[in-house]
Amino acid sequence: MATEKNYGNPELEAKLRDRYLYTDDTNPEFLNDVKKVSRTIAHMCYQCGTCTGSCPSAPRSSYRIRLFMRRGVLGLEKEALNDPDLWLCTTCYSCTDRCPRDIAPTDVIMAMRNLAFKYDIVPRNFLKTVQLIYTTGHGVPNNDVNRSAREKLGLSRDPPTTHSYPEFMPGIQKIIDHYKLKENADRILAEEGQ
């Protein structure tokens, strides 16, 4: 009799024991939704794993882009959108460069993030980044430690970005307002008392 492997992760082991796909867990429209938003041929994935093998996040985390491709094809919407690993893609596009089927897995991930946002499933640090971009034009604004370091290097204290040209902030805010990003980030954080 085959013995079960022990990965030291009870949740993963339970999932591996479960060989069944429950139709209740699937959304047949999920793949179409992903394709519509990503504009890539996600259904053509044949699970070769080249994307995961190319992914700089994979060796450093539990994130596996190939798993998300499979979830897309199987319509496992809740599984995909509720997995925090969805937010570990750095959008480096290595997987897209190398996919032998000319799929853009990066864009699949971006599409899934967009769909997750519709359900308010967004990590808090992403929402706080939206707020920072809205107020400063930067996800990571300059600070006094950086300013001193820049001075020592003979650079201006602030880089030639919105820090030096705040007159461009209204344009940035207009784009963010158009997509209601800041409004939704504020709402979700307020609902959670943050």
Q: Give the binding site for ligand SF4 (CB under 6 A).
A: 45-51, 54-57, 65-66, 69, 89-95, 99, 101, 103, 105-106, 109
The span from the CA of 119 to the CA of 113, in Å, is 10
Length of the chain: 194
Q: Closest distance between ligand SF4 and the C-beta of residue 111, in Å? A: 13
Q: Closest distance between ligand SF4 and the C-beta of residue 68, in Å? A: 8
8 Å CB contact between 122 and 130: no
8 Å CB contact between 57 and 63: yes
The span from the CA of 189 to the CA of 175, in Å, is 21
Choice between 96 and 162, CB closer to ligand SF4: 96
The span from the CA of 182 to the CA of 131, in Å, is 6
Choice between 112 and 137, CB closer to ligand SF4: 112
Q: Closest distance between ligand SF4 and the C-beta of residue 152, in Å? A: 33
Q: Closest distance between ligand SF4 and the C-beta of residue 175, in Å? A: 23
The alpha carbons of the chain give a radius of gyration, in whole angstroms, of: 21
Choice between 86 and 162, CB closer to ligand SF4: 86
Residue 86 has which token pair? 């969805």
Residue 67 has which token pair? 């798993």
Q: Closest distance between ligand SF4 and the C-beta of residue 5, in Å? A: 23
Choice between 123 and 159, CB closer to ligand SF4: 123
The span from the CA of 92 to the CA of 57, in Å, is 10
Choice between 62 and 148, CB closer to ligand SF4: 62
